[in-house]
Amino acid sequence: MPASSLSPRKAVIREITERDVRTPPGSSGNGTSPRISEFFGINTFGVRQMRDKLPRDTYAKLLDAVRHGKKLDVDVAPRVAQAIKEWAIGRGATHFTHWFQPQTGLTAEKHDAFLSFDDGQPMEAFGASQLIQSEPDASSFPSGGLRATWEARGYTAWNPASPVFIAEWAGVKTLCIPSVFVGYNGEALDEMTPLLRSSDALSTRAIELLELLGDRSAYRVYTTLGPEQEYFLIDRAHFALRPDLVMAGRTLIGAPPPRGQQLEDHYFGGIPERIQACIAEVEYELYRLGVPIITRHNEVAPSQFEMAPRFEETDVAVDHNQLVMATLRRVALRHGLQAVLHEKPFAGINGSGKHCNWSMSIAADNPELDGQNLLKPGQTPHQNIRFLAFLAAVLHAVHKHAGLLRAGIGTSGNEHRLGANEAPPAIISVFMGTTLTRVIESIASGKTAASAEQEMIKLGVARLPEIEKDNTDRNRTSPFAFTGNKFEFRAVGSSQSIAFPIVLLNAAVAEAIGEITVALKAELKKTKKVDDAVLKVVRPIFKNTSPVRFEGNNYSDGWVKEAAKRGLLNLRRTPEALAQLVTKQSRTLLTSLSILSDTELESRYHVRLERYIKDMLIELHTMRELVDTFVLPAAFDYSGRLTDSAAQAKVAGIKSIPQIDAANGVGALITDLQKHRKALGAVIDKAEGMHDDLVKQAQLLTSAGADAMESVRGCCDALEQAVSDECWPLPKYREMLFPV
Chain positions contacting ligand ADP, by CB under 6 A: 224-226, 228, 308-311, 357-359, 373, 483, 485-486
Q: Which does 226 bind (CB under 5 to 8 A by kind): Mg ion, ligand ADP, none?
A: ligand ADP
In the bound state with ligand ADP, the residue whose beta carbon lies nearer, of 130 and 483, is 483
Q: How far is the CB of 733 from ligand ADP (least distance, A)?
A: 29
DSSP secondary structure letters along 484-509: SSSEEE---BSSS-SHHHHHHHHHHH
Q: Measured from the CB of residue 555, what is the shortest distance to Mg ion in angstroms?
A: 15
225 in Cβ contact with 358 (< 8 Å): yes
* 179 vs 373 by CB, closer to ligand ADP: 373
CB nearest Mg ion: which residue? 228
> In angstroms, what is the minimal distance from the CB of 306 to Mg ion?
5
Closest to ligand ADP by CB, 262 vs 472, is 472
Q: How far is CA 496 from CA 63, 322, 354, in A?
A: 31, 9, 9
Contact by Cβ (8 Å): 99, 111:
no
Q: From CA 702, how far away is CA 721, in angstroms rounded?
A: 28
Interaction partner, residue 133 (ligand ADP, Mg ion, none; CB < 5-8 Å by kind): none
* Minimum distance of ligand ADP from residue 333's CB (angstroms): 26
Burial class (CB in 10 A: 0-12, 13-18, 19+), 546: middle
Maximum CA extent, the chain = 104
Which of the stretches 106-114, 224-232, 285-293, 552-560 binds Mg ion when contact is defined by CB under 5 A?
224-232
Instruction: Kindly tell me which of 225 and 530 has the beta carbon lying closer to ligand ADP.
Output: 225
Interaction partner, residue 102 (Mg ion, ligand ADP, none; CB < 5-8 Å by kind): none
Q: Pick what 659 binds: ligand ADP, Mg ion, none; C-beta below 5 to 8 Å, kind-dependent.
A: none
Q: Is 396 helix (H, G, I), strand (E, B) or coil?
A: helix
Q: How far is the C-alpha of 474 from the C-alpha of 283, rounded, in Å? A: 29
Stretch that binds Mg ion, among 173-181, 226-234, 580-588, 613-621 (CB under 5 A): 226-234
In angstroms, what is the minimal distance from the CB of 230 to Mg ion? 6
Q: How far is the CB of 227 from ligand ADP (least distance, A)?
A: 7
Closest to Mg ion by CB, 159 vs 261, is 261
Residue 107 interaction partner, one of Mg ion, ligand ADP, none, beta carbon < 5-8 Å per kind: none
Site string for Mg ion, 227-246 (x = CB under 5 A): -x------------------
Give the Cα separation of 665 and 18 in Å (integer).
38
CB atoms within 10 A of CB 671: 10
Work out what residue 357 binds among ligand ADP, Mg ion, none; the CB cut-off runs from 5 to 8 Å by kind. ligand ADP
Which partner from the list Mg ion, ligand ADP, none does 486 bind, CB cut-off 5 to 8 Å by kind? Answer: ligand ADP
Please report, for residues 43, 187, 335, 337, the alpha-carbon distance to residue 329 in angstroms, rounded to integers and kept in the order given: 19, 31, 11, 9
Compute the half-sphere exposure of residue 600: CA atoms within 13 Å on the CB side of its CA: 20
Q: Which is nearer to Mg ion, 228 or 615 (CB)?
A: 228
Contact 183, 61 (CB under 8 A): no
Q: Which is nearer to ligand ADP, 224 or 574 (by Cβ)? A: 224
Nearer to Mg ion, 298 or 314 (CB): 298
Q: Which is nearer to Mg ion, 479 or 575 (CB)?
A: 479
**Cα angle vertex 573, ends 568, 578, to 5°?**
80
List the Cα angle 633/634/638 in 5-degree steps.
115
Report the alpha-carbon distance of residue 276 to residue 297 in Å, rounded: 10
Smallest distance, ligand ADP to C-beta of residue 358, A:
6
Interface region with Mg ion, contact rule CB under 5 A, candidates 76-84, 222-230, 520-528, 698-706 = 222-230
| Minimum distance of Mg ion from residue 297's CB (angstroms) | 8
State the binding partner of 311 from ligand ADP, Mg ion, none, CB within 5 to 8 A by kind: ligand ADP
Residue closest to 146 by CA, chosen among 601, 613, 693: 601
Consecutive H or E run containing 538: helix 530-544
Distance of CA 582 to the CA centre of its chain: 22
Residue 134 or 350: the one with the smaller Cβ distance to ligand ADP is: 350
Minimum distance from residue 227 beta carbon to Mg ion (Å): 10
In the complex, least distance from residue 579 CB atom to ligand ADP, rounded to whole angstroms: 30
Nearest CA among 582, 585, 611, 576 for reference residue 599 = 582
Yes or no: say if 54 and 80 are a contact pair by the CB < 8 Å rule: yes
Question: Hey, what's the torsion of the CAs at 204, 210, 211, 212, to 10 degrees?
Answer: 110
Q: Which residues bind Mg ion (CB under 5 A)?
A: 228
